[in-house]
Amino acid sequence: MRIPRIYYPHDFKENSKVDLTAKAFNHLKVLKLKIGNKVEIFNGIGKVTVGVVENLGRDTLTLRLLEKITQEKEISPEINLGVSNIRNFDKVVKDSSQMGVTSLTSLMTSRTKLRNLKEEKVARWNLISSSSCEQSGLNWIPKISQMKLEDWVESSNNQFKYFLDPKAKLYIGNIKEFSAIDLVIGPEGGFSSDEESFLKQKNFVGVNCGDLIIKTESMPIVVLSMLKVLNGAN
């Protein structure tokens, strides 16, 4: 039986004790853990180990770390994904996190229906992302943010830059091997002509996904799957 996994957003050391946060405690409480049960904890930036429940109070839980701490390398390849903000962006966060995306940004475009930038949204998305990584066994949690399309494009500094465009000649499956990539997915109505011109001006290349007709909320998992397989992800 697989032992429970918990995200612990703090540093921890070998042979030490950690008091779990309220969120983690409530999650483990549902699992009806007992003293002596093992729990795997990770800090979201590659650090992971196993502890045993040493103290279980009414609203507190203390773990004693048992095993040597492992520091994993960042997930390869690096994939930075920008996706036009949609009503069901929670699904985008969940799917992208489980697929090991490096960073995910909700983008405001000229055709975005939801145009408000709200910090509470990012806080909720971070919770969804950490829960997804708990379930999928990933020890690196992606960086989640929201910004205007223009700002995200300007911040891009990778050599490989692409945007989804059904009219593009280049098929996404023909992208050559890369170590880092920035990819932007527009709204279902597509980017405006001005936005396309801006992307090309900033050295973003259009790519298509063949004849697939997929909603924006489902496109990230399709694209990430293809990029991971084609690039021999680890």
Predicted local confidence at residue 14, as pLDDT: 86
Q: Block means of pLDDT (10 residues each) for the chain, length 234 residues?
A: 86 88 69 86 95 83 89 92 92 95 94 72 93 94 95 94 94 88 92 96 94 85 87 61
107 and 39 within one domain: no
pLDDT value of position 41: 93
The total of other beta-carbon atoms located within 10 Å of residue 223's CB is: 24
Q: Which of 22, 56, 71 is the last residue of a domain?
A: 71
96: amino acid identity, one letter: S
End-of-domain residue from the set 44, 71, 98: 71
Q: Is the peptide bond before 142 cis (omega within 30 degrees of 0)?
A: no
> What range defines the domain where residue 118 resides?
78-230
pLDDT at 188: 83
Q: How many domains does the chain have?
A: 2
pTM strictly above 0.85: yes
Q: What is the pLDDT of residue 116?
A: 66
220 and 187, same structural domain? yes
Assess contact for 164 and 219: CB atoms under 8 A: yes
